[in-house]
Structure 1
Amino acid sequence: MAGDLPAALTSADFLDFDRDQAALGQSLFYDTILSGNRNISCAHCHHPDFGTGDGLSLGIGEGGQGLGPDRTPGTDLSRIAKRIPRNAPGLWNLGARDLTVMFHDGRLSTSDLFGNGFNSPAEEWLPQGLNSLLAAQALFPLVAQFEMAGNPGENEVIGAVHDRIDNAWPILAKRVRTESDYGRRFVAAFDHIETPEEVTIVEIANALAAFMAIEWTSIDSPFDQYLAGDSAALSAEQKAGMDLFYGKAACSTCHAGPLMSDQKFHALGLPAFGPGRTRVFDPYARDVGRMGESNRLDDAYAFRTPMLRNVALTAPYGHNGAYATLDAMVRHHLDPGAMRYIWQKQDANLPEVPWLAATDFIIQSDRREMARQARSVPERGPDLTEAEIAQIVAFLNSLTGTTVDTPPFGVPAWFKP
């Protein structure tokens, strides 16, 4: 029998955003104008066709071509120099009032540490006036070399980033506000903006946040309907899976509360591959997870608990996209050691990049690092039957919103990947 279920999410659980600003944010989200080389948009890694992700284990960022699993790594001098080190997370429900931390390692959180409302990689250089955690988050892909900024020597944005992170944002803001249509729209959407010259990166980030929050708030899944009082919203199999999720399987220990996340960090012992998100002094490709932010040994290889609304749409799963299916991810939670043992390199959805192939799995040849990671692998979970695993997967599918295919704004007709 299920334990205590969370309260139903309602519109009151989400921040209020302006729809005119959101409409402006939609254009910016799908426009390549915010990338250093004007060749990639936010949507290339977070597209609704792939559950607001990209369908890849590790993404292909700046320099790549195409969209989703068919995206290619580019050619000649413009080709990618590195895979994106972590899986592109979904963007569902990021406007929630109770959300306090973002990114797989939690390097962005609400905080008074630097006097601007956030603890972030920009520290005291993060600008004042950002209206939400989501707005702060929107700033960092723009100045990430392999995501949107480009490589040194290619454009003025990445050059400014390497001088100091906040030096790049005024360059992007000027680029946007001097485009006549954007300048006019900012004046119309923001009451405090009287001329395009007043537009800063803060208004750009706030517009992006307004769009993402309004576009991808999702609280109408069968599970949400059940929580709201519709006892017939779940099938018998989904109901049995819910009972396991909140009972015997103990999934809700971490996927807790209305957002289905404790917003904490846990080591799952996922198979290791890819470049990892390394610290400056790490000499090799590994990903230490939360420890890279906290510098606490207890946080080694731990990653943030993801929220689960629309999880069936956001494959592959894990901080590095190690598993292609919900079934495999559930099985890993139940027996991490066994799943690590049987995992194969071909299980990772990594488009072929010949010049990176030698390093894609190089971490697995480092015996000492593999031993360190093995010590963080959790113990086995409860023993479940095949039928019970199928029931949990059925429940996870019940978290898919009923209106995800009809969002308020949609993809602009002019967007060409």
Structure 2
Amino acid sequence: MFHDGRLSLADTFENGFNSPAEERLPDGLDNLLAAQAVFPLVAQFEMAGNPKENEVAGAVHDRIDYAWPILTDRVRHIPEYAALFVDAYPHIDQSSDITIADIANALSAFMIWEWTSFDSPFDAYLAGDGEALGPLQKRGLDLFYGEAGCADCHSGALMTDQKFHALGLPPFGPGRTRQWDPMVRDVGHMGESNRLEDAYAFRTPMLRNVALTAPYGHNGAYPTLEGIVRHHLNPAASFDDWSPDLAALPDVPWLAQIDFAVWQDSREMARQRAVQNRTVIAMNDGDVDAIIAFLNALTGATAQADRLGIPDAVPSGLPVDGPLP
């Protein structure tokens, strides 16, 4: 899980997972997705914030598991949430029985229910409906599994080999580097493995519903499917042609220069260029259009509408965002 692979099933810490929480991951997690769900809650740049801003961030600064009781207590003291947990889980009889693992498992169950889909035109085609794909999509399928080489990495039911590859994506932002690394850089799987051969390599993303998940690349370097497809075909040329205005960033002028500071480090940029070892694949505009048409055929019918829908309100009383424009 995660682009750099910092969470996985393993016996490294005798709790079933290898994770940033190490031996302090909560007990009782149902699956890998539940383990993943606890980390945005305590991540500085996601939900926790900075150490002096709130008690959760302060607790995490001392030790990650010090945040679990604080977060759990917040849920326990919202009566409607407590009642929902009692109704949902046989082992919970009262609010005090709720644990952070129960919260993570509930998040996991929601994500599995809401975003699992195998009802795309491509699925129908695989099931024997020869008319489920149009001519351009069929041509894209042939290219994807043939001379374009996409399936070398995007294979299997989820269309990912779950491995790590260095594609030479244009860098920006602080990224995620190794502990104590003073450099502003996004080192990819090397941050987890500490092996030089894993530098700037990121996990192959699955492609189901990919047309709905812009921007593309681990850092959102490309706003369109066409951009990321063309990058795969010729990473070195695409890297050199890339422009910062393609990055999906909010307009914050005082941060803009910092966001792209890595481009001023000639040695770091040379290191990133050096890992671009993919063979250039010659495709014309029609071929690219066909591949994109096939990628659009991976969108499931259920993925285009929320199964549970957006609620009018939530028990915490926090405001609810409406649908995206």
Q: Same fold (TM over 0.5)?
A: yes
Tell me the CA shift for residue 406 of structure 1: 3.0
Tell me the CA shift for residue 411 of structure 1: 1.3
Q: Work out whether residues 238 and 395 of structure 1, in 8 Å CA contact, stay in contact via their aligned partners in 2.
A: yes
| 2:40 corresponds to | 141
| 1:198 corresponds to | 97
Q: Work out whether residues 177 and 199 of structure 1, in 8 Å CA contact, stay in contact via their aligned partners in 2.
A: yes
Tell me the CA shift for residue 230 of structure 1: 1.1
Structure 2 unaligned segments of length 5 or more: list them. Answer: 314-318
Which of 155, 162, 182 aligns to 1:256? It is: 155
Q: Work out whether residues 167 and 278 of structure 2, in 8 Å CA contact, stay in contact via their aligned partners in 1.
A: no
| 1:123 corresponds to | 22
| 1:160 corresponds to | 59
Give the distance between the partners of 2:47 and 2:83, measured in 1 at CA: 25
Amino acid corresponding to residue 34 of structure 2 in structure 1: A
Matched residue of 1:107: which SS?
coil
1:112 pairs with 2:11: yes
Which of 232, 247, 264 aligns to 1:333? It is: 232
| 1:214 corresponds to | 113
Q: Work out whether residues 249 and 381 of structure 1, in 8 Å CA contact, stay in contact via their aligned partners in 2.
A: no
Deviating above 6 A after TM superposition, structure 1's stretches of 4 or more consecutive aligned residues are none
Q: Work out whether residues 276 and 286 of structure 1, in 8 Å CA contact, stay in contact via their aligned partners in 2.
A: yes
Q: TM-score, with normalisation over the residues of structure 2? A: 0.95
Higher relative contact order at CA 8 Å, sep ≥6: structure 1 or structure 2? Answer: 1
Matched residue of 2:41: which SS?
helix
1:396 pairs with 2:295: yes
Which of 132, 153, 177 aligns to 1:233? It is: 132
Give the distance between the partners of 1:112 and 1:203, measured in 2 at CA: 22
1:284 pairs with 2:183: yes
Matches within 5 A, 1:263-302: 263-302=162-201
- Per-residue deviation, residues 220-279 of structure 1 (Å, max 9, x unmatched): 010011111111100010011001101111100100111100000000001111111122
Give the distance between the partners of 1:326 and 1:235, measured in 2 at CA: 19
Matches within 5 A, 1:26-41: none
Matched residue of 1:404: which SS?
helix
Matched residue of 2:165: which SS?
strand
Which of 386, 410, 417 aligns to 2:285? It is: 386
- Per-residue deviation, residues 184-209 of structure 1 (Å, max 9, x unmatched): 11111100111110101000000000
Give the distance between the partners of 1:324 and 1:128, measured in 2 at CA: 39
Tell me the CA shift for residue 178 of structure 1: 1.2
Task: Say how many residue pairs are matched.
Answer: 316
Matched residue of 2:238: which SS?
helix
Amino acid corresponding to residue 272 of structure 1 in structure 2: P
Identity %: 64
| 1:151 corresponds to | 50
Q: TM-score, with normalisation over the residues of structure 1? A: 0.74
- Per-residue deviation, residues 147-188 of structure 1 (Å, max 9, x unmatched): 101111121111110111111011100110111111111111
| 1:407 corresponds to | 306
Q: Work out whether residues 264 and 305 of structure 1, in 8 Å CA contact, stay in contact via their aligned partners in 2.
A: yes
Give the distance between the partners of 1:340 and 1:141, measured in 2 at CA: 30
Higher helix share: 2
Tell me the CA shift for residue 353 of structure 1: 1.5
Structure 1 unaligned segments of length 5 or more: list them. Answer: 1-101
Matched residue of 2:8: which SS?
strand
Amino acid corresponding to residue 62 of structure 2 in structure 1: D
